Amino acid sequence: MVSSLTRDEATTRAEQIRVVDYRVTVDLSGAEDPQCATFGSEVTVRFTADEGAESFIDFVHESVSSVELNGELLDVDDVVEGSRIRLPGLGEANELRVVGRALYSRSGEGLHRYVDPQDGSVYIYTQYEPADCRRVFAVFEQPDLKAEFHFTVLTPQGWLAASNGEHLGAQPSDDGDVPGALSHEFAPTQRISSYITTILAGPYARVTDEWTGTDPQGETVSIPLALYCRRALAEAMDAEEIFALTKQGLDFFPKLFAFAYPFGKYEQAFVPEYNLGAMENPGMVTFTEDYLFPSGATRAQRAGRANTLMHEMSHMWFGDLVTMRWWDDLWLKESFAEFMGAYACVHATGYTDAWVTFALARKEWAYRQDQLRTTHPIVADIVDLEAARQNFDGITYAKGASVLKQLVAFVGEESFMDACRAYFRRFAFRNTDLSDFLDVLDEACDHDVRAWAQLWLHTTGVPVLSLDTPGSSADDAAAPAGASLTQAASPLRP
Ligand SMILES: [Zn+2]
C-alpha cells in the first residue's frame, strides 16, 4: 500500500532532519527484457537529525533487501511498513543505506518504461511531481527537504542516459542485473527537491547545440543544450525552432531576474505516453512528444509549444531555485510560470500575441472552473499528498496567472520584477511560502499587497459586475448620459 504524507507529518520531519546528500544507483540493465518487471535501486543518504529522534523515509518498492543505519543492519521486517521505512534512534549525523527493487511503471508515474511498437526499442523516463520519486529510490519525499543528488544509472549497451547533472561518462560494469552493462555517472545536482530529480535512458535520438551570452554580471557564459526524442520521431524534431526559442529564453530570463541560469546545462526531452504537457526538472526538462509534429503544425500549435517551453524555463527560477515549502503554495510556482510563459513569448519571441491566447483560452478555463462547486482559493488548503495531486487545475494555473497579471498592473511592472529579483536573491536554493513573496513585494511598492492577497488569493468565485445605464434601452443608439458599474459579489475586491 502506498501511504500518503500529511502536511503535519512533513512539517515535523522537516523540523527533525536536514538532508545533506543522496548517492543513488538505479540498475536498468535488464530493462530490455519484457519479463523483467523490476529494477535494482540502491541509495545512500546522509542527513542530520535531533539526537534520539525517530523519523521515516519513503520508498514505494517491490522488495527491500537491506536497510543499514549508521553501520547497523536493521531488521527489514520490523522497519519496513508499506511504503515507509521507520528510522529509529537517529543520531546527529546519520548515514542510511537502502537496497531494494522497484517496479517499472506503465502509468507515467515514477520510472516509466515504453516499448516502441515501431521498432521494439525500449525508452525510459521519470515523472515524479508531486511525490513519485519514492517509486524509484528511498527518499524523504517532500519539497522542503532539499539535497544534493548524485546519480549512477546502469543501462544496456548502446543506450544514452541523461539526468539533471552533467553526464560525466559511461563505463562497462558487471554490477548490474545483466553483465557488461554501461554505468553512467552524473555530476551532483545543486540542492534541489526530490520531485524535480530525473533520469532518462534509452536509445534516444539526441541533437546538441550551445547558447553563449552574458550573465547578469556581464561575464560571457556558455550553456550546453540538447534535445532528445525516440528515434522513430527524430525527423519530426524541428531542432532549429526549439533551439532558437531556448536561446531566446536564456537571453531573456537571467537578465529579467538578475540571476544567472543556475543549473549548468539545459536539455529537453520529448517522451512518449506522457501524462502532462511538460515538467521542469532542472537541467533536463521533459515534454510530451505531442509537441513534435510529424504531420506539420499550425502556428497555434507552435505558439502553444513556445509558451510551454518558456513556462518550464521560468520554473528554473520559480519552483526549482526557490521552491514552495508545501503544496499549499503550488501557485507560487505554477501561477508564476503560467504568467511568465505568456510574458516571455511576448517580450522574447515572435509569438507576441500570447496574452490574446491566454485571455481566450486559459482565462476562460479559470472562469469556468471558478464557478463550479469544486473551486478553491488560489492559495489552497492542502492537507496531504492526495489533495496535492488534485490541485494541478485551472485555479492554480490559469486563475493564479490572471490574478498575477492584475497584480502587475496594480503595483507596476518594474516594482513586480524588483520583487522577483529580491525573492531569488534572498531565497535561492531554499523554500518559501506566500508571506515570503508578500514581504519582497511589500518592500518593492507602496500598495497594500496583503489586503490584495487576502481578497484575491484566499477567496473563491468570480466578481460579478453590472452596468447600469439609466434612461437608455437596448435599441437606443445614443450613448447614455451617465452609467454606474456595480460589483455585487462578496467579497468586494479591488
Ligand atoms: Zn508548471
Q: What is the pLDDT of residue 490?
A: 78
**Distance between Cα 372 and ligand 1 center (Å):** 23
For the chain, give the mean pLDDT: 96
**Distance between Cα 265 and ligand 1 center (Å):** 19
pLDDT beyond 80 at 474:
no
Least confident of 192-201, 268-277, 301-310, 383-392: 383-392
Separation of alpha carbons 320 and 195, rounded Å: 10
Q: What is the pLDDT of residue 491?
A: 86
482 band by pLDDT with thresholds 50, 70 and 90: confident
pLDDT beyond 80 at 476:
no
> Amino acid letter at 176?
G
pLDDT beyond 80 at 412:
yes
Who's near 345: CB < 8 A, 6+ residues apart? 303, 306, 307, 310, 351, 352, 354
**Distance between Cα 469 and ligand 1 center (Å):** 43
476 versus 253: the higher-pLDDT residue is 253
**Distance between Cα 231 and ligand 1 center (Å):** 27
pLDDT beyond 70 at 94:
yes
Q: What is the pLDDT of residue 131?
A: 97
86 alpha-carbon distance from chain centroid: 28
Q: What is the pLDDT of residues 200-243, one digit of tens each?
A: 999 999 999 999 999 999 999 999 999 999 999 999 999 999 99
**Distance between Cα 311 and ligand 1 center (Å):** 6
Q: What is the pLDDT of residue 469?
A: 83
Question: Residue 83's closest CA among 163, 16, 9?
Answer: 9
pLDDT beyond 80 at 380:
yes
What does the pLDDT average to over 385-394?
92
Q: What is the pLDDT of residue 262?
A: 97
pLDDT beyond 70 at 443:
yes
Q: Which three cell numbers stand for residue 455?
A: 481578497
pLDDT beyond 90 at 475:
no
**Distance between Cα 135 and ligand 1 center (Å):** 22
Who's near 256: CB < 8 A, 6+ residues apart? 417, 420
SS3 track for the chain:
CCCCCEHHHHHHHHHHEEEEEEEEEEECCCCCCCCCCEEEEEEEEEEEECCCCCEEEECCCCEEEEEEECCEEECHHHHEECCEEEECCCCCEEEEEEEEEEECECCCCEEEEEECCCCCCEEEEEECCCCCHHHCCCECCCCCCCEEEEEEEEECCCCEEEECCCEEEEEEECCCCCCCEEEEEECCCCCECHHHCCEEEECCEEEEEEEEEECCCCCEEEEEEEEEECHHHHHHCCHHHHHHHHHHHHHHHHHHHCCCCCCCCEEEEEECCCCCCEECCCCEEEEEHHHCCCCCCCHHHHHHHHHHHHHHHHHCCECCCEEECCHHHCHHHHHHHHHHHHHHHHHHCCCCCHHHHHHHHHHHHHHHHHCCCCCCCCCCCCCEHHHHHCCCCCHHHHHHHHHHHHHHHHHCHHHHHHHHHHHHHHHCCEEECHHHHHHHHHHHCCCCHHHHHHHHHCCCCCCCEEEECCCCCCCCCCCCCCCEEEECCCCCCC
pLDDT beyond 80 at 473:
no
Who's near 470: CB < 8 A, 6+ residues apart? 480, 481, 482, 483
Separation of alpha carbons 427 and 434, rounded Å: 13
**Distance between Cα 462 and ligand 1 center (Å):** 23
Percent pLDDT > 70 in the chain is 98
Q: What is the pLDDT of residue 203?
A: 98
**Distance between Cα 279 and ligand 1 center (Å):** 7
**Distance between Cα 401 and ligand 1 center (Å):** 11
**Distance between Cα 94 and ligand 1 center (Å):** 34
Q: What is the pLDDT of residue 454?
A: 96
Q: What is the pLDDT of residues 142-184, one digit of tens each?
A: 999 999 999 999 999 999 999 999 999 999 999 999 999 999 9
478 band by pLDDT with thresholds 50, 70 and 90: low
Q: What is the pLDDT of residue 488?
A: 84
Q: What is the pLDDT of residues 35-78, one digit of tens each?
A: 999 999 999 999 999 999 999 999 999 999 999 999 999 999 99
Q: What is the pLDDT of residue 479?
A: 62
What does the pLDDT average to over 313-332?
96
Domains, the chain: 18-315 (2.60.40.1730), 324-463 (1.10.390.10)
What are the residue numbers of the active site?
Answer: 312
pLDDT beyond 90 at 481:
no
